[in-house]
Amino acid sequence: MKTDCMNNICLKALLCFGFIFCITTSEAKAQNFTSVKDIEAVQIEINKVASSIETIKSRFVQEKHLSFMTETIVSEGLFRFKKENMLRWEYTQPFEYLILFNGDKIIIKDKNKTNQFDANSNAVFKQINDLMLGAIKGDLGKNKDFEMSLKESAKQYLLTLNPQNEALKAYVSGVEIRFEKTDLAVSSIKMIESTGDFTDIRFENREFNTIIDESTFSPN
Protein backbone atom coordinates (compact mmCIF):
# COMPACT_ATOMS: atom_id res chain seq x y z
CA MET A 1 0.00 0.00 0.00
CA LYS A 2 2.82 2.39 0.91
CA THR A 3 4.65 1.59 -2.34
CA ASP A 4 1.53 2.28 -4.43
CA CYS A 5 1.04 5.57 -2.62
CA MET A 6 4.63 6.67 -3.30
CA ASN A 7 4.31 5.66 -6.96
CA ASN A 8 1.20 7.81 -7.34
CA ILE A 9 2.99 10.73 -5.70
CA CYS A 10 5.88 10.36 -8.15
CA LEU A 11 3.55 10.22 -11.17
CA LYS A 12 1.78 13.37 -10.02
CA ALA A 13 5.13 15.08 -9.41
CA LEU A 14 6.32 14.30 -12.93
CA LEU A 15 3.11 15.77 -14.34
CA CYS A 16 3.13 18.78 -12.05
CA PHE A 17 6.71 19.79 -12.74
CA GLY A 18 6.38 19.48 -16.49
CA PHE A 19 8.01 16.18 -17.31
CA ILE A 20 4.92 15.52 -19.36
CA PHE A 21 5.86 18.21 -21.77
CA CYS A 22 5.51 19.88 -25.15
CA ILE A 23 8.36 21.33 -27.19
CA THR A 24 6.97 23.45 -29.98
CA THR A 25 7.20 26.64 -32.03
CA SER A 26 4.60 28.95 -33.55
CA GLU A 27 5.83 27.95 -37.01
CA ALA A 28 5.21 24.27 -36.29
CA LYS A 29 1.71 24.99 -35.00
CA ALA A 30 0.82 26.88 -38.17
CA GLN A 31 1.84 24.14 -40.59
CA ASN A 32 -0.68 22.02 -42.47
CA PHE A 33 -0.05 18.27 -42.25
CA THR A 34 -1.25 15.53 -44.60
CA SER A 35 -0.94 11.75 -44.35
CA VAL A 36 2.39 10.17 -45.31
CA LYS A 37 2.13 7.73 -48.21
CA ASP A 38 5.10 5.49 -47.35
CA ILE A 39 5.09 5.33 -43.55
CA GLU A 40 7.54 2.42 -43.31
CA ALA A 41 10.21 4.19 -45.38
CA VAL A 42 10.01 7.33 -43.23
CA GLN A 43 10.13 5.29 -40.03
CA ILE A 44 13.27 3.50 -41.19
CA GLU A 45 15.04 6.80 -41.88
CA ILE A 46 13.93 8.34 -38.57
CA ASN A 47 15.10 5.28 -36.65
CA LYS A 48 18.51 5.49 -38.35
CA VAL A 49 18.98 9.03 -37.07
CA ALA A 50 17.65 8.15 -33.60
CA SER A 51 20.08 5.23 -33.31
CA SER A 52 23.02 7.51 -34.20
CA ILE A 53 22.38 9.91 -31.29
CA GLU A 54 24.35 8.87 -28.21
CA THR A 55 23.96 12.03 -26.12
CA ILE A 56 22.01 15.31 -26.10
CA LYS A 57 22.91 18.43 -24.14
CA SER A 58 20.91 21.68 -24.08
CA ARG A 59 19.25 24.43 -22.08
CA PHE A 60 15.48 24.68 -21.94
CA VAL A 61 12.73 27.20 -21.21
CA GLN A 62 9.52 25.64 -19.98
CA GLU A 63 6.01 27.12 -20.05
CA LYS A 64 3.43 25.19 -18.05
CA HIS A 65 -0.23 25.71 -19.07
CA LEU A 66 -2.82 24.83 -16.42
CA SER A 67 -6.57 25.13 -16.99
CA PHE A 68 -7.21 26.62 -13.55
CA MET A 69 -4.61 29.39 -13.94
CA THR A 70 -4.65 32.43 -16.23
CA GLU A 71 -0.89 32.94 -16.03
CA THR A 72 1.69 30.63 -17.58
CA ILE A 73 4.30 29.14 -15.24
CA VAL A 74 7.76 29.73 -16.73
CA SER A 75 10.85 27.78 -15.65
CA GLU A 76 14.39 27.37 -17.02
CA GLY A 77 17.06 24.74 -16.69
CA LEU A 78 19.50 22.23 -18.17
CA PHE A 79 18.73 19.01 -20.03
CA ARG A 80 20.98 15.98 -20.53
CA PHE A 81 20.39 12.62 -22.23
CA LYS A 82 22.68 9.61 -22.63
CA LYS A 83 21.95 6.20 -24.12
CA GLU A 84 20.48 3.93 -23.28
CA ASN A 85 18.17 5.16 -20.58
CA MET A 86 19.59 8.20 -18.82
CA LEU A 87 17.81 11.56 -18.56
CA ARG A 88 18.52 14.62 -16.44
CA TRP A 89 16.09 17.54 -16.10
CA GLU A 90 17.66 20.19 -13.87
CA TYR A 91 15.45 23.19 -13.15
CA THR A 92 17.48 26.25 -12.16
CA GLN A 93 14.93 29.12 -12.25
CA PRO A 94 12.75 30.26 -10.51
CA PHE A 95 13.40 27.26 -8.23
CA GLU A 96 15.87 24.37 -8.13
CA TYR A 97 14.41 20.94 -8.84
CA LEU A 98 15.95 17.79 -10.29
CA ILE A 99 14.43 14.78 -12.07
CA LEU A 100 16.71 11.89 -13.06
CA PHE A 101 16.00 8.76 -15.08
CA ASN A 102 18.79 6.19 -14.80
CA GLY A 103 17.87 2.78 -16.13
CA ASP A 104 14.91 1.58 -14.08
CA LYS A 105 15.42 4.22 -11.40
CA ILE A 106 13.59 7.54 -11.22
CA ILE A 107 15.00 10.06 -8.76
CA ILE A 108 13.35 13.33 -7.75
CA LYS A 109 15.35 15.84 -5.72
CA ASP A 110 13.81 18.98 -4.22
CA LYS A 111 16.27 21.03 -2.17
CA ASN A 112 17.63 18.60 0.45
CA LYS A 113 14.94 15.94 -0.04
CA THR A 114 15.58 13.04 -2.43
CA ASN A 115 13.07 10.33 -3.40
CA GLN A 116 13.90 7.28 -5.51
CA PHE A 117 11.39 5.09 -7.33
CA ASP A 118 11.51 1.86 -9.30
CA ALA A 119 10.13 2.33 -12.83
CA ASN A 120 9.07 -1.32 -12.81
CA SER A 121 7.07 -1.03 -9.59
CA ASN A 122 3.77 -0.90 -11.48
CA ALA A 123 2.60 -1.15 -15.09
CA VAL A 124 1.57 2.49 -15.57
CA PHE A 125 4.79 3.72 -13.99
CA LYS A 126 6.83 1.64 -16.45
CA GLN A 127 4.73 2.79 -19.43
CA ILE A 128 5.26 6.45 -18.56
CA ASN A 129 8.98 5.80 -18.04
CA ASP A 130 9.21 4.14 -21.47
CA LEU A 131 7.11 6.91 -22.97
CA MET A 132 9.41 9.68 -21.77
CA LEU A 133 12.59 7.90 -22.81
CA GLY A 134 11.11 6.95 -26.18
CA ALA A 135 10.01 10.50 -26.85
CA ILE A 136 13.53 11.82 -26.34
CA LYS A 137 15.14 9.04 -28.40
CA GLY A 138 12.58 9.36 -31.19
CA ASP A 139 11.66 5.68 -31.27
CA LEU A 140 8.12 5.81 -29.87
CA GLY A 141 6.80 4.33 -33.09
CA LYS A 142 7.93 0.97 -31.68
CA ASN A 143 5.75 1.30 -28.57
CA LYS A 144 2.83 -1.13 -28.80
CA ASP A 145 0.94 0.68 -26.05
CA PHE A 146 0.03 3.41 -28.55
CA GLU A 147 -1.92 3.72 -31.78
CA MET A 148 0.25 5.56 -34.28
CA SER A 149 -0.32 7.86 -37.25
CA LEU A 150 2.25 9.76 -39.34
CA LYS A 151 1.70 13.00 -41.27
CA GLU A 152 3.93 15.50 -43.03
CA SER A 153 4.17 19.17 -43.98
CA ALA A 154 6.69 20.89 -46.23
CA LYS A 155 9.23 21.04 -43.39
CA GLN A 156 8.30 18.41 -40.82
CA TYR A 157 6.97 14.94 -40.06
CA LEU A 158 4.36 14.65 -37.32
CA LEU A 159 4.07 11.39 -35.39
CA THR A 160 0.88 11.14 -33.31
CA LEU A 161 0.48 8.49 -30.61
CA ASN A 162 -2.71 7.75 -28.69
CA PRO A 163 -2.53 5.47 -25.62
CA GLN A 164 -4.51 2.22 -25.84
CA ASN A 165 -4.16 1.26 -22.19
CA GLU A 166 -6.96 2.59 -19.98
CA ALA A 167 -4.68 2.99 -16.96
CA LEU A 168 -2.22 5.08 -18.98
CA LYS A 169 -5.06 7.20 -20.39
CA ALA A 170 -5.70 8.41 -16.85
CA TYR A 171 -2.42 10.35 -17.10
CA VAL A 172 -1.74 10.94 -20.81
CA SER A 173 -4.32 11.60 -23.53
CA GLY A 174 -1.93 11.90 -26.46
CA VAL A 175 1.60 12.45 -27.73
CA GLU A 176 2.79 14.41 -30.78
CA ILE A 177 6.41 14.24 -31.95
CA ARG A 178 7.75 16.45 -34.73
CA PHE A 179 10.86 15.66 -36.80
CA GLU A 180 12.55 18.23 -39.02
CA LYS A 181 12.94 16.96 -42.59
CA THR A 182 16.39 18.55 -42.78
CA ASP A 183 17.98 16.21 -40.21
CA LEU A 184 15.15 13.86 -39.06
CA ALA A 185 16.02 14.54 -35.42
CA VAL A 186 13.26 15.17 -32.89
CA SER A 187 12.48 18.89 -32.92
CA SER A 188 9.34 18.95 -30.81
CA ILE A 189 7.32 16.80 -28.46
CA LYS A 190 3.84 17.42 -27.16
CA MET A 191 2.47 15.31 -24.33
CA ILE A 192 -1.01 16.26 -23.18
CA GLU A 193 -2.36 15.23 -19.80
CA SER A 194 -5.80 13.67 -19.47
CA THR A 195 -7.01 16.94 -17.95
CA GLY A 196 -6.01 18.89 -21.06
CA ASP A 197 -3.15 20.63 -19.26
CA PHE A 198 0.18 20.68 -21.09
CA THR A 199 3.68 22.10 -20.95
CA ASP A 200 5.77 23.83 -23.61
CA ILE A 201 9.54 23.35 -23.45
CA ARG A 202 11.87 25.15 -25.85
CA PHE A 203 15.34 23.65 -26.21
CA GLU A 204 18.23 26.04 -26.81
CA ASN A 205 21.82 25.44 -27.93
CA ARG A 206 21.36 21.72 -28.48
CA GLU A 207 24.53 19.63 -28.81
CA PHE A 208 24.58 16.03 -30.02
CA ASN A 209 27.07 13.24 -29.27
CA THR A 210 29.28 15.17 -26.87
CA ILE A 211 30.90 13.47 -23.87
CA ILE A 212 28.62 13.31 -20.80
CA ASP A 213 29.91 11.56 -17.69
CA GLU A 214 27.55 9.02 -16.10
CA SER A 215 27.88 10.83 -12.76
CA THR A 216 25.66 13.50 -14.34
CA PHE A 217 22.74 11.14 -13.78
CA SER A 218 23.38 10.78 -10.05
CA PRO A 219 21.68 13.13 -7.53
CA ASN A 220 24.95 13.72 -5.65
Domains of the chain with CATH codes? 2-217 (2.50.20.10)
Work out the number of other CB atoms within 10 angstroms of the CB of residue 27: 10
Q: Cβ(133)–Cβ(88) under 8 Å?
A: no
Identify the band that residue 198 occupies on the pLDDT scale cut at 50, 70 and 90.
confident
Identify the band that residue 140 occupies on the pLDDT scale cut at 50, 70 and 90.
low
* Residue 38 CA neighbour count, 13 Å, CB half: 5
pLDDT given for residue 26 in this prediction: 44
Helical segments of 17-122, H only? 26-30, 39-52
Q: Tell how many helices (H) and how many strands (E) occur in the chain.
A: 5, 12
Identify the band that residue 22 occupies on the pLDDT scale cut at 50, 70 and 90.
very low
In the predicted model, is pLDDT for residue 49 greater than 80? yes
Q: Cβ(45)–Cβ(38) under 8 Å?
A: no
Residues of the chain above pLDDT 70, percent: 78
Residue 112 is given by DSSP the state T
> In this structure, what are the phi and psi dihedrals at residue 9, rounded to the nearest 5 degrees?
-60, -45
CA angle, residues 199, 201, 205, in degrees to nearest 5? 175
Q: Give the tens place of pLDDT for each residue, 92-119.
A: 999 898 989 888 888 889 888 898 888 7
pLDDT given for residue 82 in this prediction: 92
Highest mean pLDDT of the ranges 18-22, 28-32, 79-83, 160-164: 79-83
* Reported pTM: 0.75
Q: How far apart are CA 108 and CA 101, in angstroms?
A: 9
